[in-house]
């Protein structure tokens, strides 16, 4: 009799009801982090962080569009992601350095979908170089792709973002900034850093305006993740990570997948206007 009472008692000795026992025996199943059925558009989703995000959404039932300039390569990557995730990943060609690029992209997307739940402004370019040699072309390229394109994509996509909003359901814009926009690194990245710092500010100004429309806007400031711009396997990056990142490692796919799922789901419903450092503690430890 005593053993039976212990078996049905909780940790504090209070008897558990059958419903309580069922909850402790089975994993919790709710829709707090559920993003299935949503539609996402990820710019620059063919490599690096963008591809990681696209994979994370497609794995979880999000109808996911990725963009790039080379259609053959883009189509192949979208097909690979669909096959590997069991989800749906679709290609859309876009040149976001072109002033008309955002409008053309949204027009093409709107021909296929009637709403946009998640817009991820991930496409970016460099703009590094010493003050003595950086030219106006490099400066302008950083501002055009890293700053101008995200703003006008949001502007052009507003009807589609608003169409995704319902009582208790927000549309979500996620801007990919950088820790380079939160501090000044030990190398010269004047244009890149300025463009990302401006994108963080743009995130706040868009959040202030679009909250009333049910559109949440946040930014992620990643530390080192493997990409075209950062080779995390190089000895230089390994040494920097070991010296400056408290967690002692570069970012991994699940790190950015998890944060983007959070920001696009009901779990992140009250997060708005924030720039979140995803950097293993780098900025906090400065």
Domain segments of the chain: what residues? Answer: 1-30, 38-278
Sheet of 118-121: strands edge to edge? 88-93, 63-68, 39-42, 118-121, 171-176, 215-222, 275-278
| pLDDT beneath 70, residues of the chain | 1-29
Q: Is-above-0.85 flag for pTM? A: yes
DSSP 228: S
Give domain 38-278's CATH architecture.
Answer: 3-Layer(aba) Sandwich (3.40)
Dist. CA 84–CA 47, nearest whole Å: 15
Annotated active-site residue in 57, 65, 170, 192: 192
Dist. CA 33–CA 209, nearest whole Å: 26
Residue 12: predicted pLDDT: 53
192 is catalytic: yes
Q: With contact defined as beta carbons under 8 Å apart, do 235 and 31 qualify? A: no
Residue 100: predicted pLDDT: 98
């Amino acid at each position: 009799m005593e053993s039976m009472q212990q078996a049905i008692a909780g940790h504090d000795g209070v008897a558990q009801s059958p419903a309580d026992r069922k909850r402790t025996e089975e994993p919790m199943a709710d829709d707090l982090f559920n993003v299935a059925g949503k539609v996402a558009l990820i710019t620059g989703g063919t490599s690096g962080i963008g591809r990681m995000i696209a994979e994370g959404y497609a794995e979880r039932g999000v109808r996911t569009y990725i963009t790039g300039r080379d259609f053959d390569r883009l189509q192949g990557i979208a097909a690979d992601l669909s096959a590997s995730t069991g989800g749906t990943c679709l290609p859309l060609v876009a040149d976001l350095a072109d002033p008309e690029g955002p409008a053309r992209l949204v027009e093409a997307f709107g021909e296929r979908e009637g709403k946009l739940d998640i817009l991820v402004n991930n496409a970016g370019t460099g703009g590094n170089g010493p003050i003595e040699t950086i030219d106006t072309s490099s400066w302008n390229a950083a501002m055009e792709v890293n700053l101008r394109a995200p703003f006008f994509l949001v502007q052009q996509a507003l009807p589609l973002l608003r169409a995704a909003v319902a009582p208790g359901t927000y549309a979500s814009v996620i801007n990919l900034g950088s820790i380079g926009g939160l501090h000044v690194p030990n190398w010269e990245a004047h244009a890149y850093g300025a463009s990302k710092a401006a994108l963080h500010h743009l995130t706040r100004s868009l959040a202030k305006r679009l909250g009333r429309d049910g559109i949440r806007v946040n930014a992620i400031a990643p530390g080192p993740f493997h990409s075209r711009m950062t080779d995390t396997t190089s000895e230089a990056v390994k040494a920097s990570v070991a010296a400056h990142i408290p967690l002692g490692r570069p970012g991994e796919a699940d790190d950015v997948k998890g944060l983007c799922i959070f920001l696009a789901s009901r779990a992140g419903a009250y997060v708005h206007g924030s720039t979140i450092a995803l950097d293993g503690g780098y900025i906090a430890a400065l």
